[in-house]
Amino acid sequence: MIDGDVALRPARPEDVTAIAEIWYAGWCDAHLGNVPDEPIAVRPRDSFDTRAAQRIPDTTVATVRDVVAGFVIVLDDEVDQVYVSGDHRGSGIAVRLLAAAERCVNANGHDKAWLAVVPGNTRARAFYARNGWSDEGLFVHDAPGPAGPVDVPCHRYVKFVAEA
């Protein structure tokens, strides 16, 4: 891929379908077989459409030739979601999205960012480590569910993002 073909921009309402499709496919890759049954039960395909629409104000998308290829969602000091479409994995888009998220956390007034990764998602864990994130160990993440938080065992990764 030519680097000039990738652009980052704030998400727009017309991006919801593309974001939801990328999010659902990536979520399944990362979570199926790696989390208890309850988080899977509260994440049917249509829930990603609803969540993507709700999270547009907190989302940055990466586009390749004006087509959404990935996205990142930042909430305060948390890098809440990072996903890249299967066609663009390994292309460097995730690195650019993660760097944008780190800048956003810093702009939100925080020196340290954090994110949660399920233990069995070895690809993501290796990616974050390669990009300067540190594993602080296991914790129980309260993932949002339709009837309240759902406990998901995760590793907490952190990175100092304060500008030098």
Which residue ranges make up each domain of the chain? 3-160
**Distance between CA 76 and CA 125 in Å, rounded?**
22
Q: Which pTM value belongs to this model? A: 0.91
Greatest Cα pair distance in the chain = 44
**Distance between CA 142 and CA 34 in Å, rounded?**
16
Phi-psi category of residue 112: left, alpha or beta, with phi > 0 → left and psi -120 to 50 → alpha: beta
List pLDDT tens digits, range 88-121.
988 899 999 999 999 999 999 999 999 999 998 9
DSSP state of 147: T
List pLDDT tens digits, range 33-60.
766 666 677 687 788 999 999 999 999 9
List pLDDT tens digits, range 134-155.
999 999 988 877 777 888 889 9
Per-residue model confidence (pLDDT) at position 150: 80
Class of domain 3-160: alpha beta
Return the closest-CA partner of residue 121 out of 40, 60, 37, 35.
35
Alpha carbon 26 to chain centroid distance? 9
Alpha carbon 36 to chain centroid distance? 20
